[in-house]
């Protein structure tokens, strides 16, 4: 197993991509602290991991609260004595055009997606610096790399995560800490289902993807496991797009529209 005797923390681990990441890490041998703002979901996923024969503890976490983040880190150390892997999945999306984004929504999206990633990485990163090793994987988005309508707060927050990933990778390389990101495209999760909430919308969005389908959380999770493992021991400061070809699809879309 790729992650035997490793200890991982996953934020946003209660559902969707986060849940898939927790289970994939456990399948590869890691013990996992499952953190989520909804405590019940964290307990549920933690129970699934325990049934797999791995150690796991749940933690109810608001990633925007520094005191809660520090408590999470301390709880992981008390339970497992070390932290090898941090996966920052926790995030929210508010659908809105730039002119309609409220100050409250802007602050909330930036706080959860960017500040939360920063606080968790800073807290766990200090532990990894003392250990002299660690791997952090952040959840960015294709929206971090190219303009996306109706995401006036979301895209900037994920662009911030992308650049924060690079900054941490450069600053912490001397401590043998690798920091990478994944940039998912449309993935079937509760969040995307709330955005593309009809079959017609989902089918229309899928036609704009070269692979002609949405991804699934397990496809993101497998990439995260790779980046967290020693298989990626010489990779740091990068973001892998898991998007069915979406970021490479400008001329594909031109051809698709021309054919209609």
Residue-wise pLDDT tens digits, 200-255: 888 888 888 889 899 999 999 999 999 999 999 999 999 999 999 988 876 445 44
Tokens 């109810």 sit on residue: 60
pLDDT at 256: 47
pLDDT at 252: 46
Number of neighbouring beta carbons within 10 Å of residue 15:
19
* Residue pair 36/11 in contact by the 8 Å Cβ criterion: yes
3-state secondary structure 218-248: HHHHHHHHHHHCHHHCCCCCCEEEECCCHHH
What is the spatial distance between Cα 35 and Cα 234, in angstroms, rounded to a whole number? 28
pLDDT at 258: 46
How many Cα atoms within 13 Å fall on the side-chain side of residue 65? 9
- Give residue 196's pLDDT band: very low, low, confident or very high (50, 70, 90): confident
Which three-class secondary structure state does DSSP give residue 167?
A: helix
Residues annotated as catalytic (active site), given as ranges: 154
Please give the domain boundaries of the chain with CATH numbers for all domains: 7-191+216-247 (3.40.50.720)
* Residue pair 180/237 in contact by the 8 Å Cβ criterion: yes
pTM exceeds cut of 0.85: yes
pLDDT at 239: 98
Kindly report the average pLDDT of the chain as a whole number. 94
pLDDT > 60? residue 260? no
β-strands 31-36, 56-60: how paired?
parallel
Number of neighbouring beta carbons within 10 Å of residue 211:
13
């Amino acid at each position: 197993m790729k992650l035997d005797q490793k200890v991982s923390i996953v934020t946003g681990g209660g559902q969707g991509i986060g849940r898939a990441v927790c289970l994939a890490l456990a399948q590869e041998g890691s013990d996992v602290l499952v953190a989520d703002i909804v405590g019940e979901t964290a307990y549920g996923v933690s129970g699934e991991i325990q049934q797999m024969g791995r150690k796991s503890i749940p933690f109810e976490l608001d990633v925007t609260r520094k005191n809660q983040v520090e408590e999470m880190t301390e709880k992981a150390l008390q339970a497992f004595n070390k932290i090898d892997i941090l996966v920052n999945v926790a995030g929210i999306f508010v659908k809105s055009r730039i002119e309609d984004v409220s100050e409250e929504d802007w602050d909330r999206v930036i706080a959860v997606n960017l500040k939360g990633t920063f606080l968790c990485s800073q807290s766990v990163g200090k532990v990894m610096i003392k250990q002299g090793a660690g791997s952090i994987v952040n959840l960015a988005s294709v929206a971090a790399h190219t303009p996306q309508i109706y995401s006036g707060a979301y895209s900037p927050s994920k662009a911030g995560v992308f650049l924060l990933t690079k900054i941490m990778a450069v600053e912490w390389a001397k401590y043998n800490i690798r920091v990478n990101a994944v940039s998912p495209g449309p993935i079937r999760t509760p969040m995307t289902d709330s955005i593309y909430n009809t079959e017609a919308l989902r089918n229309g969005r899928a036609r704009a993807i070269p692979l002609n389908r949405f991804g699934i959380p397990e496809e993101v999770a497998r990439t995260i496991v790779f980046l967290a493992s020693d298989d990626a021991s010489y990779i740091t400061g990068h973001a892998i797009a898991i998007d069915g070809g979406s970021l490479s699809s400008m001329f594909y879309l031109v051809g698709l529209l021309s054919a209609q």
